[in-house]
Structure formats: structure tokens, C-alpha cells
Structure 1
Amino acid sequence: MNYLPIICFSTVALLQVFSVNYQDSEDPKRWKRRVAKITKPALMPALLWLYLSFASLPSSYIIAALCAGWLGDIALMIQPNKKMASTMFMVGLLFFLMGHIFYGICFFSQSATLFNKIPLFALMYLPYLIYCLVLYTYLFAPGVQPTLRIGAILYSIALTTMSFSGLTLLVFSPSTATAILFIGTLIFISSDSVLALKDIGQKKQLPDRYIIGSYIIAQMFIVMGTY
């Protein structure tokens, strides 16, 4: 077994979680900011290397999803000023949305028999519909920018559809791998929900380490489930 990709990804991930709180700070220890800015764009390439090293038959959709995630990470790092930060956030959101679409296509292609069972299809999506409705109560609160509101709605649809496709895969092809994959999609929802509430100005926020840590675990679980 080639342990180098595992060591590389684990090191990059741990360094990013450790340093993320210093990425935008004025901490006198500038090396922490440098570590944060170097490891963030290295996350998805390291995970892609890990995936290609262990996947018996790599999926072009998984590769495309990881590349979209990488572009999303890059976009969120480009914030020269407040106005540009808002624009780049939407660009990053678009890339992450594309990543979820690629994941969803990959998962749905392996569970196509679901569409012969429409009642089960509707029942399985019900929890995601409830989640979206709860999220929308925050999005339509006063003070939320219309562009952010529209972007978040489209993104939530793509995100829940991606997780739903993982659920269908688990139901029709139950295994340890598909269970790990589905758990990864749920962690993704948790991570992005916290990030969304943070960006629309909710007072109760979890630390950035939770957001990046859960994001890394979610991507890793999804990739592990597709080996």
C-alpha cells in the first residue's frame, strides 16, 4: 500500500484546521497565516491524489467534483476588498454547486432503479424538503441580500439533491462504503448550513475550525465511499 497520499492529505488537513482561525487575522505570528493560505488550496489536490491512488476505477464525476471544490476554495480566498469579497463568495458558491451536481450525477447513475418507485422517492426526500424550508426562514429574514438569497436557495437545492442521491445509493446498494458516503453528505449539509448562517449575519456561530473540519471530513467520506 502506498501511504504517501494518506500522509500528505492528513498533514495538509490537520495544518489547515490548526491554522484556519489565523487566515484573516492580524496575529503577530504571521507564519500561521501563511500556513492557512498555503494549506487551503492544497486540500482538494491532496484528496484527489488520495482518490486516484486507491480508486479501482476512478470516476470522472468525482474528479470533476473535487476540481470544482478546489476552484471554490480558491475563489473564497480572493477577497481584496469588501465589494469583491461578496462577488467572489458567489463565484465560490457556484463552483461548490457544480461540485454537488457532479457528485449527484455519479450517485444517481448507480441507483437508477429508484425512479421505478415514485412513492418511496417522495418519502425519502421529505426530510430534505423540511431542511430547506427551515433554512429559507433564515434566508428571508430582513437584511439578507437578494443575490445571496437566490444563490443560497439554488445551492441548497443542489446540496440536498446530492445528499439524497447518496441516500438512494445506500438504500439500493447497502454497504459500508455507501454508508460512509451518505454520512459524508450529511456532514456536508451541516458544514454548509453553519457557513450559510454565518454569512447571512446570524449571531450564534460555530468556530471556523468546525466549518473547515467538517468540510474536510465530508469530502473525505464521500471520496472514501466511492473507492
Structure 2
Amino acid sequence: MNIFEKIDMDMLTKTEKSFSLVFSIVVIAELIAGSVESLTTYHYFTKPLILISLIFFFWKHAQHLDVKTKWLTLLALVFSLMGDVLLMFVNASVNYFISGLLAFLLAHVMYVLVFLRKRKKSKKVFPFTVILLLYAATVFYFLKDGLGDLLLPVMVYMGVILLMAITGFLRQGRVPKNSYILVFLGALFFITSDSLLALNKFYEPLPFSNIGIMLTYSIAQLFIVFGLIKQS
């Protein structure tokens, strides 16, 4: 089955479509607040609201999932929220960046544990792993000279987020089609978002970096949440 087969939008419930609209408004508000200097104050409200809205949505609509899946996912979302908040203060101290990196590292570990619960053990993962490693090596080539003391933490982080994508890939054949595609695409959007963030911080400033990072990040989290809700 082609993993990029079109997602059947009829599989989204009316509630999910309504939430997607509200979620889009929140994300657009954050993109504006984070890009317009005169609206910076609102940024401290709109950015956390992205994950807060997802946490409440998942909590309300994931009651059918098994307990471990539900709580591991909630932990992933809470750690992501912590990471979002910490990264808003990186200009004050590098410690906020390190703490934010750790929070997102824990979020990815939680997602890995969730995805592993529905892995297909017979699925071949080597070709996809090679592609991911080549991509990671390319990004790392541009980052390495600017990492300094953060070289090891960033390498560990890159390894964990690649593992998240691999475990998301391993769900094919064990979960419904839409659940698999949404989660897998969410993992790829997460890698894209973190790549943009890293290149913007450690290589050189990217044009419209705030928009690109937040848009791909928001899509990633939304897709993973929807995908996990459709898991069973």
C-alpha cells in the first residue's frame, strides 16, 4: 500500500473537522503574534494555547484507547507544552533552550513508546532508516560548526526523533489506514519543524523561519493526535 495514498477526509468526524477549524484559527493567531513585534505580548498566550487545545481535545476523545496509550500520549503532549513554554525564553538564557530540548526529547520518547505498542514486527525498516539517516547526516553537516557545547545533546535529540519516525513507520498493517498515515506524516512534519528550527538557530537565519517552524510543528501534533484517536 502506498503510504502517501490520499487520506479519506470522510473518515474525519464532524467534531474533528470543527476542531481543525478552531485549531487553525489558534495557529494563525500564533503566527501573527509571533511575527508582528507589536503583538509579541499575545505570543505568550497563543503559543501555549496550541498544545493546550490539543490536550483537551485528546483527553475528551481518547476514552476508547487503552490506558497506557492514552496516558503516554498525554505525557507527550504535556512535555511538548513545557518545551513550547521554555523555548519562548531562550533569549534570556541558553538554559531555557537546553531545558526545552529535554522536554521535547521526553515527548518524543513517549511517542516512541506509544507507537511501539502497535508495531508490526515483520515490517522491513532498513530502507526507510537509511533514508532518514542520510537526511539527518545532511542536516548535521550544516549544523555541526555552530553547535559548540550542544553537539552531544543535539545528536541525542536527533537520534530520538528519528526513532520516533521509524516506530511510526512500523505501525503500518497493525492499525487502520488513516491512523497510520496521519501518525506517520505527523512524525515527518515533526522532523521538518525541528530541522528548520535547528538550521535557523545553529546555521543561519532562515526567511520566515517562525512561520515555517510553527506551521509544520502544529500540523505534526494535530496529525499525531488525530491518528492515535483513530487507532482503534
RMSD: 2.3
The percent of aligned pairs where both chains have the same amino acid is 25
What is the identity, as a one-letter code, of the residue corresponding to 2:88?
M
Show the counterpart of 1:139: 143
What is the identity, as a one-letter code, of the residue corresponding to 1:107?
F
Within 5 Å, give how 1:9-158 maps onto structure 2: 9-22=23-36, 25=37, 27=38, 32-55=39-62, 56-57=64-65, 59-79=70-90, 81=92, 84=93, 86-111=94-119, 113-114=120-121, 120-141=124-145, 144-158=146-160
* 1:110 partner SS: coil
Spell out, residue by residue over 1:156-176, the C-alpha distance to the aligned partner (whole angstroms, 9 max, x if none): 111111011111112543511
Closer, same or farther in 2 for the Cα pair 1:150/1:216, shift >3 Å?
same
**Which whole-Å CA distance do the structure 2 matches of 1:212 and 1:226 have between them?**
21
Structure 1 segments, 4+ long, off by >3 Å, are 7-11, 171-174, 203-206
Contact residue 41 and residue 74 of structure 1 kept, 8 A: yes
What is the identity, as a one-letter code, of the residue corresponding to 1:222?
I
**Which whole-Å CA distance do the structure 1 matches of 2:166 and 2:192 have between them?**
14
Aligned residues: 211
Contact residue 16 and residue 36 of structure 1 kept, 8 A: yes
Compute the displacement of 1:203 (Å): 4.7
TM-score, normalised relative to structure 2: 0.82
**Which whole-Å CA distance do the structure 2 matches of 1:203 and 1:76 have between them?**
17
Contact residue 76 and residue 106 of structure 2 kept, 8 A: yes
Spell out, residue by residue over 1:109-138, the C-alpha distance to the aligned partner (whole angstroms, 9 max, x if none): 111x42x56xx2323311111112112212
Contact residue 200 and residue 209 of structure 2 kept, 8 A: no
Give unpaired runs (5+ residues) of structure 1.
Answer: none
Contact residue 8 and residue 46 of structure 1 kept, 8 A: no
TM-score, normalised relative to structure 1: 0.84
**Which whole-Å CA distance do the structure 2 matches of 1:80 and 1:210 have between them?**
20
Closer, same or farther in 2 for the Cα pair 1:10/1:49, shift >3 Å?
farther
